[in-house]
Amino acid sequence: MAILIDNNTKVLVQGITGKQGSFHTKLMLEYGTKILAGVTPGKAGQYVHGVPVFNSVFDALEKFPEINTSIVFVPASFATDAIFEAIEANIKLIVVITERIPMHDAAKFVNYARIKGTIIIGPNCPGVISPPYSKVGIMPAHVFKEGRIGIISRSGTLTYEIAYKISKANLGISTAVGIGGDAIIGTDFIEIYEMFLKDKDTDAIVLIGEIGGDLEERFATYYSSLKNKKPVVAFIAGKSAPEGKRMGHAGAIISMGMGSAKEKIEAFNKVGIKVADKPDEIPKLLYEELKR
């Protein structure tokens, strides 16, 4: 039944009246996502694509207590406040699309969410999609065919590229989770993989990493310690990236010689995780792993 989001996901859109928020509300509704309400302070009473707008998360929840998920489009300078508001209102899953949130702010709301038992996906992520049930994100839905492969990714468009290749090879996707391209993010590879382990509708997982940080290395260590595991195929972006330069994502930087693609690939190879040289090798590797 997929992970994180499904038929029972009832969504609040924070920043619904903005250009991004309104545009993606329309696309999510078209996909079939159950969006019950939106929030933009000062805009209560308006409707965006038929969705009622409230001044605060608390107002929205008073009217729609069944809301269990929020997606945040609020601009970076106001996003931290919006996320704290959603955590305080006890929404248990918060997907943060917003880019360029200062890392000191992210560190605060991520730590607070952990204390409160809230899951934060992102910031700076494309969101989550569980085809064909629900999409809480900004990804182009048509490349995500329904199936039994889970995707966990630090990237956006690269995820779409790989989902397109998986779908084309007649393998589909159970849930794809973009965990975000920032240095400080709410949920990492290990935590999402654990959810996939428990999901009976997922047979194998594609892990899409990139340069910077040590999420991939830590996943490798964790994976080697597991007794029961589902197969993993990985891809790492940034093999040709110069050192010390931030490659688009705030978190994609090789600093002080650490976080290179080479180190990550070696860490995966060491624990038996196959790493594709090119995205088009991923379906083939998946078929090999599924046959075992």
Partner 1 sequence: MKLYEYEARQIFEEYKIPVPKWGLASNAEEALKIAKEISFPVVVKAQVLVGGRGKAGGIKFANNEDELIKVTNSILNLTIKGEKVSKVIISKYLDIKQELFLSLIMDRTARKPLILASREGGIDIEQIAKEDPKKVLRIHVNPLIGLQDFIIRKIEDFFSLKNIKSIVYALYEIFTKYDCELAEINPLGITNNNEIYAIDAKIIIDDSALYRQNKFGERIDRELNEFEMIARETGFSYVEHDGDIGIISNGAGLTMTTMDMVQYYGGRPANFLDIGGGADAEIVYKALLIQLKHPRAKSIFINILGGITRCDEVAKGIIKALNEIKTNKKIVVRMKGTNEEIGKKMLNEVGIYTYDEMEEAAKEVVRT
As annotated, the active-site residues are 249
215/264 Cα distance (integer angstroms): 9
What string marks each residue from 204 to 233 as x (binds partner 1 by CB under 8 A) or -?
Answer: ----x-xx-xx---x---------------
Q: What is the dihedral of CA 104, 120, 228, 218, to 10 degrees?
A: -20
What string marks each residue from 39 to 68 as x (binds partner 1 by CB under 8 A) or -?
Answer: ------------------------------
Residue 14 Ramachandran class (φ > 0 left, ψ -120 to 50 alpha, else beta): beta
Does 190 help bind partner 1 (rule: CB under 8 A)? no
119-121 sheet: strands from edge to edge: 47-48, 51-54, 34-39, 10-14, 69-72, 93-96, 119-121
Q: Are 35 and 5 in contact (CB under 8 A)?
A: no
Does 291 help bind partner 1 (rule: CB under 8 A)? no
Does 74 help bind partner 1 (rule: CB under 8 A)? no
Choice between 51 and 106, CB closer to partner 1: 106
- Phi, psi torsion values for 279, nearest 5 degrees: -55, -35
- Residue count of the chain: 292
Does 149 help bind partner 1 (rule: CB under 8 A)? no
Q: Closest separation between CB of residue 120 and partner 1, Å?
A: 10
Give contact residues for partner 1 (rule: CB under 8 A): 23, 76-77, 100-104, 106-108, 110-112, 115, 138-140, 143, 153-161, 164, 181-185, 208, 210-211, 213-214, 218, 235, 237-242, 245-252, 256-257, 261, 277-280
